[in-house]
């Protein structure tokens, strides 16, 4: 088949006579748009940096052009295998996209022979995420390393990292030192692997809850070589603050113990990013796992794993047995191209600029209701206010009232709750410490929140708290009256 391009088809070899009869100067301007798009792609692949934000129609053109390269879309293709990416639904066929999935049986990052277009899309996605981490978020250590984009949530990605670590560790290393953070999925990851969870207790310092480093050191000393790795957490609900990963990574380096950082939604915080870089430079970091949806505002279900050692990062991809669904990568591709590096920098910057306002509004509501904001320095994403003037039962009411009033994501944490997760008992569950001593309510100022939302958050929260008080007063007045009535009766 002679080599053809769209310019050749529309303008023709002699540059004069288009079969279409469309004036060549019209076509030239149009084709320069396509040329520009292709040169963006070429630069992306060659220079390993994200292109500037592209207009949606150009992204659609590129996405559909690339997916049309997959074998099942070849007009002449005859599928003679057991998996030919055929679709039974015309609705799905009409939507297009990466039907053949990504990866091969041995490695989710390997190229898929039947899906060259998908492979290009995977490349671009990897380049884009690495560019954002290395250049926008200043993780210079990535220069010599790489990232692995996984179509699995943070929890399952941590599981894959644990399995990878286990593979290269002695069989006796079966314990995971885990700095307590009351969120189920990480615990699950450890338990699902059949590993033993060693919980490092936290301590309460003023309002903050933070890992007890002394306890960590002694646990490490005690369990020695049976420790597979230590899992720390950087992004967490207040009053828990990010782990002091710099100190911990130094300890782990000295003990030659692998370090996995659960950095679910930490990429949006420069404070955390700085700690990550220092930890890598001064201590030991094997894997950092971050959620794609929480940091890059894409649909739930993807994660990026990175760290300073290229080989280790690549190994994680090799643990994924089989080809994976392509939608996560496709959605990320579209988002990276539409938003671009400057767009993501703006989104993260916007959050940082919104922070003081959020803290102010939240604090005012607290004060207006006789409560106070928890002082949880170090955590610049999640914040909490006390609910000291409310009973545990009222706290529960507040939680469900906020939910039905469309304030989603607030958490009310009562005192004295115990929870058993896979056999492990957690006292004071929710607060990441056995007894925080006071009910509280958390809310987050996460990437994507708008100024308008902050104001509305304040209003609704305030009205909700006031309503609970009113209800209580009404109840009390009623009781009072009943008492009086009874007195009168007597």
Residue 104 assigned ligand-binding role: yes
The least distance separating a second copy from the CB of residue 489, rounded to whole angstroms, comes to 39
185 binds a second copy (CB under 8 A): yes
Residue 17 assigned ligand-binding role: no
Restricting to residues 384-413, which ones interact with a second copy according to CB under 8 A?
400, 403-404, 406-411
Residue 470 assigned ligand-binding role: yes
Applying CB under 8 A, what is the total number of residues that bind a second copy? 172
Q: Do 137 and 273 meet the contact criterion of CB atoms below 8 Å apart?
A: yes
10 Å Cβ neighbour count for 389? 14
Residue 83 assigned ligand-binding role: yes
Of 63-71, 141-149, 208-216, 476-484: span binding a second copy (CB under 8 A): 63-71
Residue 323 assigned ligand-binding role: yes
175 backbone dihedrals φ, ψ, rounded to 5°: -115, 140
Q: Do 361 and 451 meet the contact criterion of CB atoms below 8 Å apart?
A: no
140 binds a second copy (CB under 8 A): no
Smallest CA-to-CA distance from 442 within 421, 415, 412 is with: 412
Q: Which one of residues 49, 213, 347, 438 is an interface residue with a second copy (CB under 8 A)?
A: 347
Interaxial angle between packed helices 56-67 and 24-47, expressed in degrees from 0 to 180 and rounded to the nearest 10: 70
Smallest CA-to-CA distance from 413 within 438, 448, 447, 383 is with: 438
Of 72-80, 203-211, 270-278, 363-371: span binding a second copy (CB under 8 A): 72-80
357 binds a second copy (CB under 8 A): no
257 versus 262: smaller Cβ distance to a second copy? 262
In the shown chain, the binding pattern of residues 159 to 178 toward a second copy, with x for contact by CB under 8 A and - for none, equals xx--x--xx---x-------
**Distance from chain centroid for Cα 3:** 43
133 versus 298: smaller Cβ distance to a second copy? 298
The least distance separating a second copy from the CB of residue 466, rounded to whole angstroms, comes to 17
Q: Please calculate the CA angle 362-364-370 and round it to the nearest 5 degrees.
A: 105
Q: Please calculate the CA angle 183-335-58 and round it to the nearest 5 degrees.
A: 170
10 Å Cβ neighbour count for 467? 14
Q: Which one of residues 35, 135, 217, 278 is an interface residue with a second copy (CB under 8 A)?
A: 35
Q: Which one of residues 14, 76, 256, 420 is an interface residue with a second copy (CB under 8 A)?
A: 76
Q: How many residues does the chain have?
A: 490
Q: Do 215 and 162 meet the contact criterion of CB atoms below 8 Å apart?
A: no
Q: Which one of residues 145, 233, 257, 382 is an interface residue with a second copy (CB under 8 A)?
A: 382
The least distance separating a second copy from the CB of residue 284, rounded to whole angstroms, comes to 22
68 versus 218: smaller Cβ distance to a second copy? 68
81 binds a second copy (CB under 8 A): yes
Give every CB contact of residue 152 below 8 A, 6+ residues apart in sequence.
Answer: 160, 301, 302, 303, 320, 324
Q: Do 67 and 98 meet the contact criterion of CB atoms below 8 Å apart?
A: yes
16 binds a second copy (CB under 8 A): no
Restricting to residues 425-484, which ones interact with a second copy according to CB under 8 A?
443-444, 446-449, 453, 456-457, 460
Q: Which one of residues 14, 16, 90, 488 is an interface residue with a second copy (CB under 8 A)?
A: 90
The alpha carbons of the chain give a radius of gyration, in whole angstroms, of: 27
420 binds a second copy (CB under 8 A): no
370 binds a second copy (CB under 8 A): no
224 binds a second copy (CB under 8 A): no
CA distance 70 to 82: 16
CA distance 160 to 102: 17
Binding residues: 83, 104-105, 112, 323, 405, 470
């Amino acid at each position: 088949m002679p080599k053809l391009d769209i310019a050749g088809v529309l303008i023709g070899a002699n540059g004069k006579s288009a079969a279409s009869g469309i004036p060549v100067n019209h076509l030239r301007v149009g084709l320069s748009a396509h040329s520009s798009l292709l040169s963006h792609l070429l630069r992306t692949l060659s220079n390993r940096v994200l292109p500037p934000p592209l207009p949606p129609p150009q992204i659609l053109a590129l996405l559909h052009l690339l997916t049309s390269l997959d074998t099942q879309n070849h007009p002449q293709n005859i599928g003679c295998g057991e998996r030919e990416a055929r679709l039974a639904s015309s609705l799905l066929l009409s939507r297009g996209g990466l039907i053949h999935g990504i990866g091969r049986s041995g490695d989710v990052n390997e190229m898929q022979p039947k899906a060259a277009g998908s492979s290009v899309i995977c490349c671009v996605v990897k380049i884009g995420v690495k560019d954002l981490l290395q250049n926008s978020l200043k993780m210079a250590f990535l220069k010599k390393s790489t990232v692995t984009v996984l179509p699995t949530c943070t929890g399952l990605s941590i599981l894959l990292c644990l399995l990878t670590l286990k593979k290269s560790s002695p069989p006796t290393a079966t314990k995971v030192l885990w700095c307590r953070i009351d969120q189920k999925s990480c615990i699950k990851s450890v338990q699902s692997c059949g590993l033993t969870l060693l919980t490092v207790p936290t301590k309460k310092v003023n309002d903050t809850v933070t890992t007890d480093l002394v306890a960590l050191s002694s646990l490490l000393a005690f369990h020695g070589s049976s420790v597979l790795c230590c899992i720390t957490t950087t992004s967490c609900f207040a009053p828990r603050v990010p782990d002091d990963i710099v100190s911990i990574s130094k300890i782990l380096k000295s003990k030659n113990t692998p370090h996995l950082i659960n950095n679910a939604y930490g990429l949006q915080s420069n404070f955390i990013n700085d700690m990550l870089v220092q930890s890598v430079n001064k201590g030991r970091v094997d894997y950092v796992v971050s959620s794609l949806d929480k940091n890059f505002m894409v649909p739930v279900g993807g994660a990026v794993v990175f760290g300073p050692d290229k080989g280790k990062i690549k190994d994680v991809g090799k643990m994924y047995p089989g080809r994976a669904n392509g939608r996560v990568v496709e959605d990320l591709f579209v988002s990276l191209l539409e938003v671009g590096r400057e767009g993501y920098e703006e989104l993260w910057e916007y959050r940082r600029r919104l922070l003081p306002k959020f803290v102010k509004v939240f604090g005012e509501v607290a004060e207006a209701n006789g409560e106070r904001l928890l002082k949880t320095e170090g955590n610049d994403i999640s914040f909490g206010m006390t609910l000291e003037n409310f009973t545990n039962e009222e706290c529960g009411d507040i939680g469900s009232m906020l939910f039905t009033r469309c304030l989603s994501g607030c958490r009310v944490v009562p005192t004295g709750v115990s929870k058993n997760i896979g056999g492990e008992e957690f006292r004071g569950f929710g607060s990441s410490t056995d007894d925080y001593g006071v009910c509280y309510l958390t809310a987050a100022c996460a990437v994507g929140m708008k100024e308008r939302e902050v104001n509305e958050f304040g209003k609704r929260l305030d009205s909700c708290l006031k309503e609970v008080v009113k209800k209580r007063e009404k109840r009390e007045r009623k009781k009072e009256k009943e008492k009086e009535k009874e007195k009168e009766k007597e």
